[in-house]
Structure formats: C-alpha cells, structure tokens
Amino acid sequence: MGTVGAMAGAARKGRADRMSGKRARRRGILFLLVGPSGAGKTTLLRRLMRMRLGLKRLVSTTTRPPRPGEKDGRDYRFVSDEEFREGIRRGLFAEYAKVHGNLYGTKAGEIDSELAKGRDLIKDIDVQGADALRRRYADAVTIFVLPERPADMAARLRGRGSEDSASFRRRMETARQEIRRAADFDYLVINGELALAAGELRAIVEAERCRTRRRWRSTAWATFRWTS
C-alpha cells in the first residue's frame, strides 16, 4: 500500500476504534544493534533476550558455515550460496550484503508481518545492513555497540577464537571503517561491563516504548470523551 493509501486506512481504522471504544494497537518497533565484529552484539542480545521484555529476535540468513555451538534457526539460518541467491532473485530480502566474504541477509516478510502485529523486533547487523534497513524502515531505532577500549576489540575477536589471521585482519579493517560511522546512530552503548551494557540496552527499549507518539493511541486517553 502507498503512503496515502496507508494513511487513509489508518484514519478509517482510528475512527472505527474511537467509535467502538477499542484502543489502537501501535506498530512494532524495529531495534537494530549495530557495530563492528567483536563488539559484543551477540552476547548482549542473548542477555537482553533473557530479560523477557517481549522482544522477538530476528534471525539472519547466511552462507557462512556455523561456528561450534551455533544452531540453525536460533543463531542464523545457514543456507548454501545457491539457496541464498535464489532468495535474492525472488526478492525475499529487505537487505543483504557480503560481509567478510559471506552473504548475510534479512528477510522482509517476517519483519513486515511482525511489525504490523505490533511485535517489537531486535536484530544485530553490520553498518551497511543497518543503513539499508533504515531506508526501508525509517522509524527503526539504531544502537551502536562498542567495547570500552580499542584494544578490547582485538582481544575479544582473538579470544573468540573463530577467525584465522586473514579473517581477523579483514574484520579489524572493516571495524575501523564502521567505527567512523558511530555518530550516525541513535544510541551508543559501551560494552565494558556486560551487565551494565545490557542494563543500558534495556533502558533504551523501555524508553522507546514510552515515546508519546508510539504510546498515545493505545492508551485509554486517546478514546476518552470529555464531557465538560
């Protein structure tokens, strides 16, 4: 539906809700956790999901092979190059990119249907993917994650033990480019002490949910008829 059509539809629905006294449900919020490899996005996301805030984690599709301990469908949907390219041909991806030599992408269908249902979504993504999703979902909330000190990032990436030396160098170079873009995002979370950073993330989610423009229509005040 185009913007004008969507607005007319929303206005009709708003009128119908007022007449029936039913509160409107807001659209879901799309939270994007952005930052260089090794910043701690995955770790933070796992912590946040344990807080049971009612967020749904969006799982990316990738051609990268699973790391030990990673599960298909939970961490990523692991697919072959051929399957990924078929998805591109069929226009299934809201965005996709080649990162460190592998394809990563986010399917549009799930985002659109969950946001329409009012479900808040979260996903971790690299800078170029976040740029692409922001073009499509202008209301997305973007959170940039960084370790406290530059040396921590290299140490964490080494400590994870998942990269050979070529991949490590590639990730560090990409990180340098990405960190220059930090100021383009809505929030900055410094992932030094994990519990503190996770607490900040939680605060961001809760504050965004309290924004008047998102919350007002779903309150009893939006349909209340003042009599005097």
Q: Among residues 48, 43, 58, which one has the least CA distance to residue 119?
A: 58
**Is residue 41 a contact residue for ligand ADP (CB under 6 A)?**
yes
Provide the minimum distance between the beta carbon of 49 and ligand 5GP in the complex, in angstroms, as a whole number.
16
Provide the minimum distance between the beta carbon of 100 and ligand 5GP in the complex, in angstroms, as a whole number.
6
Q: Which residues of 69-101 are buried (b: 16+ CB within 10 A; e: fewer)?
A: eeeeeebbbbbeeeebeebeeeebbbbbbebee
Q: Is residue 23 exposed (0-12), middle (13-18) or buried (19+ Cβ within 10 Å)?
A: middle
Cβ proximity of 73 and 184 under 8 Å: no
Q: Using the rule CB under 6 A, which residue among 28, 38, 105, 129 binds ligand ADP? A: 38
Residue sitting closest to ligand 5GP (CB): 129
28 vs 63 by CB, closer to ligand 5GP? 63
Q: Using the rule CB under 6 A, which residue among 31, 104, 137, 144 binds ligand 5GP? A: 104
Provide the minimum distance between the beta carbon of 83 and ligand ADP in the complex, in angstroms, as a whole number.
24
Provide the minimum distance between the beta carbon of 107 and ligand ADP in the complex, in angstroms, as a whole number.
20
**Is residue 59 a contact residue for ligand 5GP (CB under 6 A)?**
no
Provide the minimum distance between the beta carbon of 143 and ligand ADP in the complex, in angstroms, as a whole number.
12
Sorted by sequence, the CB contacts under 8 Å of residue 116 that are 6+ apart come out as: 27, 28
Q: Using the rule CB under 6 A, which residue among 53, 97, 182, 222 binds ligand 5GP? A: 97
> Could you give the angle at the alpha carbon of 73 between the alpha carbons of 67 and 79, nearest 5°?
70
Q: Using the rule CB under 6 A, which residue among 17, 27, 43, 174 binds ligand ADP? A: 43
**Is residue 129 a contact residue for ligand ADP (CB under 6 A)?**
no
**DSSP E strand boundaries for the chain:** 30-34, 55-57, 61-62, 77-78, 93-99, 102-107, 120-125, 141-147, 187-191
- How far the first Cα of the chain sits from its last, in Å, is 40
Provide the minimum distance between the beta carbon of 60 and ligand 5GP in the complex, in angstroms, as a whole number.
3
**Is residue 167 a contact residue for ligand ADP (CB under 6 A)?**
no
46 three-state secondary structure: helix
Q: List residues binding ligand 5GP (CB under 6 A).
A: 37, 60, 64, 95, 97, 99-100, 104-106, 124-126, 128-129
Residues forming contacts to ligand ADP in the complex (CB under 6 A) are: 35, 37-43, 156, 159-160, 191, 194
